[in-house]
Structure 1
Amino acid sequence: MRRQRGFHLQTNRSGWLKSTELLIVPAGPTMHRRTFLAATSFIAGMSALRAQPDMRLRAKDALSEAHSPTHRFAQRRFDSVDGLRHYQVFVAVPVTDPPAEGWPAICMLDGNAAFDALQQADLDRVRDLVLVGIGYEEGRNDPDTRDLDYTPPFFLNGTTFPADPPSTEKAGGGDVFLALVAERMLPDVAKEFSLDPARQMLWGHSYGGLFVVNALFKRPDLFRSYYAISPSLSWHAPLMLHAEDVSKRRAMGQSELVVLYEVPENTPGDERRKARLQRRQMMFDEMFERLGARADIALTQRAYPGENHGSMFGVGLRAALARGVPK
């Protein structure tokens, strides 16, 4: 049974719905895991500090290569501007004719893993939605590439925000990747598959969730809905609080922001982990307070006790599919 607390609901002058809620949701069953292909073996050994989801980089068994009674599948390839990174975009399009305004769409980061996790039962729930998985060309992904693409620049307004502990990862290319998504990927996919520009969601987990929040701050009109799962908001903290300070506002109406996150269990005696979790929660609390007070954002936050960082990938994916894209 769900318990709800701290719910606030109102409409602003423009008539848009503004809501802020905190829901405590019991943990669901553990996400089913299939045998990893050899191409993913090195991911399994990466530290959790790399903020990686449970990734399957070769979507060989995904529905994208199978028949579905509800959707047809396509793949498109894109390159970074410098030609060094290569992306595979997976698309699932309803088999019926699109509405006059075009299809609403959910655009998912870590697209290889997202499409590999899809089942026909998931597609049955989104018969009127296009799913777009923004992934990496098969066999070319590595943690450094993902870290670079999904993390925002940590130099902001003349200040460099250091990592704690110091990081050796290649990072800070999020704005460049966001430009690629906004100016090349989305326009091409939208034109070819008849997407409704007013009803699109950006979804991401972990570093992908960090990218989603950064996208909201940098391009609030690009998507109608921003869906962040266990976002790594404490990365280079307090960077994202300063990013919120100088963030852009939506031109009209509200951006929907949904943040879903796990509630880690305390480990007795692990003081370093406890301190890290406390800093994380402080960052979340401050960010939620700020975003909940903004007239241009409709914020929903949900905590999932008993889930962990990896399991939230599947939990968050199916929560987004169930919610859909608001009008």
Structure 2
Amino acid sequence: MHRRSFLAATSFIAGLSALRSRSALSETSSPTHRLAQRRFDSADGQRHYQVFVAVPVADPPAEGWPAIYMLDGNAAFDALQQADLDLVRDHALVGIGYEEGRNDPDNRDLDYTPPFSLDGMTFPADPPSMEKAGGGDVFLALMAERMLPQLAKEFSLDPTRRMLWGHSYGGLFAVNALFKQPDLFRSYYAISPSLSWHAPLMLHAEGVSQHRAVGQSELVILYEVVEAGGDERRRARLQRRRMIFDEMFKRLGARADIALTHRAYPGENHGSMFGVGMRAALARGVPK
């Protein structure tokens, strides 16, 4: 799965382009949501995050708004239409992106991929990768310790009803987050997740993963159907991908602390699953 293949989508409603700009304008409105942006920096000061927030214009419930946190936030908010916000009139949306813009693959590669050394084992890539990678746990700590608490306080977001949504490497991050911090989100939506990255790393990660303290985490995995074909190396990778997915579904489906839903989408491709998966999550919302 190519690291630069996340969807190039259409623009949002009038006024959001001004919101995304680096001008003095920091807030605007839609008929259903108040739109804002906030800035965070990585702990080492090397990466700079632009966070886009859409909060319902109504008064929040006592417990706060349920919230859907979307990785690749620049692309996610670019893809949103007012019809999408109409689906989530009682939800806040948070897009976690980069100041450098939607096409910032080096930083997302680093942030969204888990360390490829785990439990004393190192899992090499095939083919060997030159990308910056393996910073997923550091990024998850930034989200858990700074982003989520600050955003929850400022925008009245319910800490018990939040969803983490990600596509491709973002989907890989969502599954890794479930394994590392299962109580951080109520739902984990992984769209076309790159579960075969450094295989069998993620199967090993599941085997040593944390379990939710009380109740179940909702995990939804939606993915395209990849047709077999190509040269021998590609066929081997597709076979490994199918094996990883099948084994992961078997393991996760047997866990009492996870409510698993998985669905294949024939006719879709890796890029088109971005929009398909985003709108599936908006239509579902965060369960109570």
Taking structure 1 as the reference length, what is the TM-score of the superposition? 0.82
Match of residue 225 from structure 2: 263
**Conserved? CA contact 1:62–1:118, under 8 Å:** no
Match of residue 5 from structure 2: 52
Deviations 1:270-300 (A, max 9, x none): 3332221111010000001000000000000
Q: Is 1:98 the counterpart of 2:98 in the alignment? A: no
Match of residue 277 from structure 2: 316
Match of residue 111 from structure 1: 73
Distance in 1 of aligned mates of 2:64 and 2:172:
28
For residue 308 of structure 1, what is the amino acid of its counterpart?
N
Distance 1:62 1:312, change over 3 A: farther
Equivalent position to 2:185, from 223, 230, 251: 223
Distance 1:139 1:124, change over 3 A: closer
Distance 1:277 1:181, change over 3 A: same
Distance in 2 of aligned mates of 1:57 and 1:178:
28
Structure 2: state its 5+ residue gaps. 20-27
**Conserved? CA contact 1:86–1:140, under 8 Å:** no
Runs of 4+ in 1 over 3 A off after TM superposition: 55-67, 138-141
Secondary structure class of the residue paired with 2:2 = helix
Equivalent position to 1:297, from 258, 262, 267: 258
Identity %: 82
Equivalent position to 1:242, from 196, 204, 207: 204
Shift of 1:61: 6.2
**Conserved? CA contact 1:178–1:215, under 8 Å:** yes
Match of residue 161 from structure 2: 199
Distance 1:57 1:240, change over 3 A: farther
Deviations 1:200-249 (A, max 9, x none): 00000000000000000000000000000000000000000110111000
For residue 3 of structure 2, what is the amino acid of its counterpart?
R
Q: Which has the higher contact order (CA 8 A, sep 6+)?
A: 1
**Conserved? CA contact 1:260–1:303, under 8 Å:** yes
Q: CA RMSD in A?
A: 1.9
**Conserved? CA contact 2:13–2:82, under 8 Å:** no
**Conserved? CA contact 2:75–2:102, under 8 Å:** no
Match of residue 148 from structure 2: 186
How many residues in Structure 1 have an aligned counterpart in Structure 2? 279
Taking structure 2 as the reference length, what is the TM-score of the superposition? 0.92
